[in-house]
Amino acid sequence: MASSIARRLPSLPSLPKIKAAVNPCQCGCGAVCTNRFKPGHDAKLAGYVRRVQVGVVTLEGIEEILGVGQALATAHAMGVDYTPLAEREDEDADEMEFAEEDAEKLA
Ligand SMILES: [Zn+2]
């Protein structure tokens, strides 16, 4: 009888709990999870990609509505490069400075 033998055996020591590694959610929401996505967030990302593909929103629109993380994650999922709006404004500002310097040199 296996059950009567098991009753006579001492119980096993409890093992220390191993904490699962936490990763940032790949949808770009900023949450941490033990897998690639928080539950349901893979579908959210697929929805962002689909919306951009059919043209109902742009990556810039996703950044404005949801945030830079989701825009970058959507671009990554689509395999395209995306520069966040804040960095673009900096680039424009740099270009303006160069343009002003060039204008001063020409004058
Ligand atoms: Zn997420």
Answer whether residue 3 is part of any domain: no
46-90 pLDDT, tens digit per residue, is: 999 999 999 999 999 999 999 999 999 999 999 999 999 999 866
CA of 107 from ligand 1 middle (Å) equals 53
Answer whether residue 41 is part of any domain: yes
CA of 89 from ligand 1 middle (Å) equals 27
Full domain range(s) for residue 65: 21-82
Answer whether residue 56 is part of any domain: yes
Band of pLDDT at residue 106, cut at 50, 70 and 90: low
Q: Quick one: which of 55, 52, 87 has its CA closest to 70?
A: 52
Query: Other C-beta atoms within 10 Å of 74: how many?
Result: 28
Domain count, the chain: 1
Answer whether residue 52 is part of any domain: yes
Answer whether residue 77 is part of any domain: yes
Q: What pLDDT is attached to residue 75?
A: 97
Strands 23-24 and 32-33: antiparallel
DSSP bridge partners of 24: 32
Answer whether residue 69 is part of any domain: yes
CA of 35 from ligand 1 middle (Å) equals 11
User: What count of residues does the chain have?
Assistant: 107
Q: What pLDDT is attached to residue 100?
A: 65
Answer whether residue 97 is part of any domain: no
- Tokens 């990302």, located at residue: 45
Answer whether residue 28 is part of any domain: yes
CB 11 within 8 A of CB 55: no
CA of 70 from ligand 1 middle (Å) equals 8
Q: What pLDDT is attached to residue 21?
A: 86
CB 74 within 8 A of CB 65: no
**Dist. CA 37–CA 47, nearest whole Å:** 14
Give the pLDDT mean for 29-40: 95
Q: What pLDDT is attached to residue 23?
A: 92
φ, ψ for residue 38, nearest 5 deg: -70, 155
Give the pLDDT mean for 23-51: 96
CA of 27 from ligand 1 middle (Å) equals 4
Residues with CB under 5 A from ligand 1 (ion): 25, 27, 29, 38, 41
Greater model confidence, 85 or 101: 85
7-26 pLDDT, tens digit per residue, is: 788 888 898 888 888 999 99
